[in-house]
Amino acid sequence: MDPVKLQAPLRKYFRRRRFKTFIKDYRSCQTILDVGGEHSIWSVIGRYHGIVLLNVSAPRDPGGFTYVLGSGCEMPFLEKSFDLAFSNSAIEHVGSVENQFRFAREMMRVGKRICCQTPCRLFPIDPHLGAFFLHWLPSSWLKPGFLRYFTLNGLLWKRRYEYDVTWISKRKLKKMFPDCKIKTERFLLLPKSFIVTD
Query: For residue 13, what pLDDT is reported?
Result: 80
| Strand blocks (E) in the chain | 32-35, 51-55, 66-69, 82-88, 111-119, 125-126, 131-132, 181-187, 190-197
For residue range 110-125, list pLDDT tens digits in order: 999 999 999 999 999 9
Cα within 13 Å of Cα(168), Cβ side: 33
What angle is formed at CA 178 by the lines to CA 92 and CA 67, rounded to 5 degrees?
Answer: 45
Residues 6+ apart with CB under 8 A from 89: 117, 118, 119, 127, 193
Q: What is the 3-state secondary structure (H, E, C) of 21-73?
A: CHHHHCCCCCCEEEECCCCHHHHHHCCCCCEEEEECCCCCCCCCCEEEECECC
Q: Report the C-alpha dihedral over residues 76, 82, 86, 92, rounded to 10 degrees.
A: 30
Contact between residue 35 and residue 105 where contact means Cβ atoms under 8 Å apart: no
Please tell me what DSSP assigns to residue 167. Answer: -
What is the β-pairing status of strands 111-119 and 82-88? parallel
Contact 195, 18 (CB under 8 A): yes
* Overall pTM > 0.85: yes
Write down the CATH superfamily of domain 3-122+165-197: Vaccinia Virus protein VP39 (3.40.50.150)
- 80: left (phi > 0), else alpha (psi -120 to 50), else beta? left
The predicted pLDDT at position 38 comes to: 94
Phi-psi region of 33 (alpha: psi -120 to 50; beta: other; left: phi over 0): beta
Return d(Cα 54, Cα 71) in angstroms, integer.
7
Supply the pLDDT for residue 77.
98
User: What confidence score (pLDDT) does residue 161 get?
Assistant: 87
Nearest Cα to Cα of residue 38 among 77, 3, 12: 12
Asked if residue 86 lies in contact with residue 116, where contact means CB atoms within 8 angstroms, the answer is yes
| Residue ranges for the chain with pLDDT beneath 50 | none
Quote the pLDDT of residue 154.
Answer: 87
The whole-number pLDDT of residue 2 equals: 54
Res 5: pLDDT: 61
The residues spanned by each domain of the chain are 3-122+165-197, 129-164
How far apart CA 148 and CA 56 sit, in angstroms, is 25
